[in-house]
A and B are shown apart, each in its own frame.
Chain A
């Protein structure tokens, strides 16, 4: 071997640009799988399924109207939202942040997918009963609560993200019988209230963006 070839551009790859090899696809899938495993997404899905079953069971016993018809479904929705927030926690912390540009996409995808799974599980659970507020109300309330959980994950860490939806619910449950007018207490507003829907969607969007870009607060050192 001589140095004659040094400095020349490398030979062009034989395959066409833009076309990914099966190996790259496999690596991508493996990345997704490892990411989901590191976030305990499977456990989260089990929790979401349990929430759906709990909602379906509760709706058999609950009255169709009144404060109680809203309280227990909201608590279960808050539990599902807390589970989504907890999955934002990374067990790796700083080393993971410097590994590549795909991490925000994985966070965004996981957040959206888990939000959709939570909605699906709860909607399926409530299909056999009467859910006060309907599916639209479920979507709004769950979205807002999940947003609060993700926001808490970004601020306090994924492991403590449950504090957000549980604390928010503690404040807003009295509002169910109190005729609050603020749209920020969206669980207390009618399902077709536009302001409440905008507030819940705004919280979800901002929180998802925060978690996508920055991830959950690295609390590994404190844990």
Chain B
């Protein structure tokens, strides 16, 4: 046997080339299969239904109302649970006493921990986005006007990631049976404390992740003007910074990896802390503007351009035009304001058209409150600008259509009458002594008479407790509120110069006139009445 005939040495098996990324990716695949978050998904799905989907379906199909819920309602429930689950996941190796064992694997420890966190976060994000998808899909099917705002969803995604990261870091650092519960408790307390800080007028509290648009009620933004993303951008910065700092801190110990890796971890930690601090500082500069919260450094002027739409109008003596999103409320608006507008039609300064606007005036108040102005009559020919921002809409909470119409009649119609006869807004409610000018007596008497004739100050309709809607709601069990601090009816009429008897006589006389005679008198004397040149005794 020669070397030529010697059997050839079998070729060594070809080594499979392993790309550097294959290890962490494979680890992520394994972690996705064994993540404890999987066991929590059914509970999270139930909680999403109870806390978000059910209340959302109890509200009218407005994108702004429902998108606010996927940030505030969902995250109040999800964030503590996700922090707890993250802590449980992160403390796994420590609870099992496997720290040394996994510390000598080929993949750096930091990368392994990152894969574990990523797996838990991916499952939570998938569930959250799935829930949002269902909610948005149903809302679109219900014919909501416009498009869905995605900024609240983006903040929700960031809250999920940050909650998991903070909990995970706590679990890695303090492995123990109490860690998960305590992490959930701390996140819960932080969320509740943030709400309290905002109400306590802490300017930096605006960064609170459940804060959608500061004091603005959900139905008051994002329809007439684009959704202002300033606050959401700051919140995203803050949450991403927190998550980066928490995860970066895990790479600082010597066991986490090599020098370069630890250097990168330190850079990530510092960058995260800087981002969170900057975002908090920016949130401190947020201010209330007409269409949402504005942070000057983040504001895009393009957001101030009004959204285009073709108003929905009801033809008539005084046409009423609403934004298409409010199309379904046209019957209630007509029922509430139609009789008054018909009575005033043709008068010199009476509105010839009603146009819905986003707001007339906006003013922030202490305690994270906000005041919206009522309807105003402006221009020649006069146009009544009607805001519905901040008014509880039919289906919102337990508000019925009858209660919505009652509110418009009781608050807005009175303000329209006041404005028409030249009285300050709320004069009927607060009484003549507060008007300041005794010359307003005749104006007051005419306004009272019109209120009486048109039944503008009737009692609120009973609350329809059987109305479909969420079990929760700020206005359940009561008449709808304007959330705007406007004075309600019920003031006592008194006159600095006339006796209450004289006043009542004038009211009764004017109310007893026929519709045509009253209209004719107003047509002749309205300018003088508005100027305060009519005495109480001159009222027929």
Whether A177 contacts B472 by the Cβ 8 Å rule is: yes
Q: A142 to nearest B CB, angstroms?
A: 14
User: Given the complex of chains A and B, what is the CA–CA distance between A170 and B180 in angstroms?
Assistant: 16
**C-alpha gap A180/B137 in the complex (Å):** 28
Question: Within 8 Å CB of B181, what residues of A?
Answer: 79, 82-83, 85-86, 161-162, 166
| Inter-subunit contact A175/B189 (CB<8 Å) | no
Complex interface: chain A residues within 8 A of B178 (CB): 40, 43-44, 47, 83, 86
Tell me, yes or no, whether A114 is within 8 Å of chain B by CB: no
How many residues on chain A are close to B (CB under 8 Å)?
A: 40
Interface presence of B80 (CB below 8 A): yes
Interface membership of A72, Cβ < 8 A: yes
What is the distance, in angstroms, from B519's C-beta to the closest C-beta of chain A? 45
A160 touches B73 (CB 8 A): no
A94 at interface, CB cutoff 8 A: no
The residues of A that contact B199 with a CB separation of less than 8 Å are: 68
Shortest CB-to-CB span from A78 to chain B, Å, is: 7
A159–B196 touching, CB < 8 Å: no
Given contacts A75-B192, A170-B80, A171-B77, contact A180 B184 (CB under 8 A): no
Q: Roughly how many angstroms separate A75 CA and B196 CA in the complex, as a whole number?
A: 14
Is A117 part of the contact surface with B, judged by Cβ < 8 Å?
no
Residues in A whose Cβ lies below 8 Å from that of B40 = 163
Determine how close the nearest CB of chain B comes to the CB of A41; give it in whole angstroms. 12
Interface majority SS (helix, strand, loop, mixed), chain A: helix
The answer on a CB contact under 8 Å between B80 and A166 is yes
Pair A223/B95 contact, Cβ less than 8 Å: yes
Residues of B79-126 whose CB lies within 8 A of A: 80-81, 84, 88, 92, 95-96
Which residues on B sit within 8 Å (CB–CB) of A167?
Answer: 43, 47, 77, 81
B26 in contact (CB, < 8 A): no
A76 to B73, CA, bound (A): 20
Could you tell me the distance in whole angstroms from the C-beta of A160 to the nearest C-beta in chain B? Answer: 7
- Which of A82, A162, A174 has its CB near the most chain B CB atoms (within 10 A)? A162
Q: Is the CB of A76 within 8 A of B189?
A: yes
CB distance from B69 to the nearest CB of A (A): 10
Interface residue? B147 (CB, 8 A): no
Query: Is B33 in the interface zone, CB < 8 Å from A?
Result: no
B472 to chain A, nearest CB (A): 3
Q: How far is the CA of A162 from the CA of B36 in the complex (A)?
A: 14
Looking across the interface, which residue of chain B has its beta carbon closest to that of A223?
A: B95
Most chain B Cβ neighbours within 10 Å, of A72, A170, A223: A170
- Does residue A71 face the partner (Cβ distance < 8 Å to B)? yes
Assess whether A68 is in contact with B195, with CB atoms less than 8 Å apart.
Answer: yes
User: Of A44, A61, A68, A171, which contacts B50 at CB under 8 A?
Assistant: A171
Contact B47 A170 (CB under 8 A): yes
Q: How far is the CB of A9 from chain B (nearest CB, A)?
A: 50
A156 to B40, CA, bound (A): 11
CB-defined interface of A52-77 with B at 8 Å, one 1/0 digit per residue? 00100000011000001001100110
B185 within 8 A of A: yes
Q: How far is the CA of A90 from the CA of B96 in the complex (A)?
A: 14
The reply on A169 being an interface residue by CB < 8 A is: yes
Distance, CA A68 to CA B80, complexed state (A): 18
A179 within 8 A of B: yes
- The answer, among A54, A68, A175, for a CB contact under 8 Å with B471, is A175
B229 part of interface (Cβ distance < 8 Å): no
Q: Which stretch of B266-274, B379-387, B473-481 is in the interface?
A: B473-481
- Chain B positions within 8 Å of A43 at CB level: 176, 178
Q: Are B55 and A79 in contact (CB under 8 A)?
A: no
Tell me the nearest residue of chain A to B472, going by C-beta.
A178
B188 contacts which of A44, A78, A171, A179 (Cβ < 8 Å)?
A78
Question: Is B177's beta carbon under 8 Å from chain A?
Answer: yes
Partner pick for A75 among B47, B78, B189, B472, CB 8 A cutoff: B189
B12-50 vs A: 1/0 string, CB under 8 Å?
Answer: 000000000000000000000000000110010001001
Report B465 CB to chain A, min CB distance, Å: 9
Does B193 count as interface, using CB distance less than 8 angstroms? yes
A-B contact sample (10 more), CB < 8 A, given A79-B182, A83-B178, A86-B177: A43-B176, A68-B196, A72-B193, A158-B177, A159-B180, A162-B180, A170-B76, A174-B73, A178-B471, A223-B96
6 A-B pairs with CB atoms under 8 Å apart are A72-B189, A82-B185, A156-B39, A163-B81, A166-B181, A166-B184
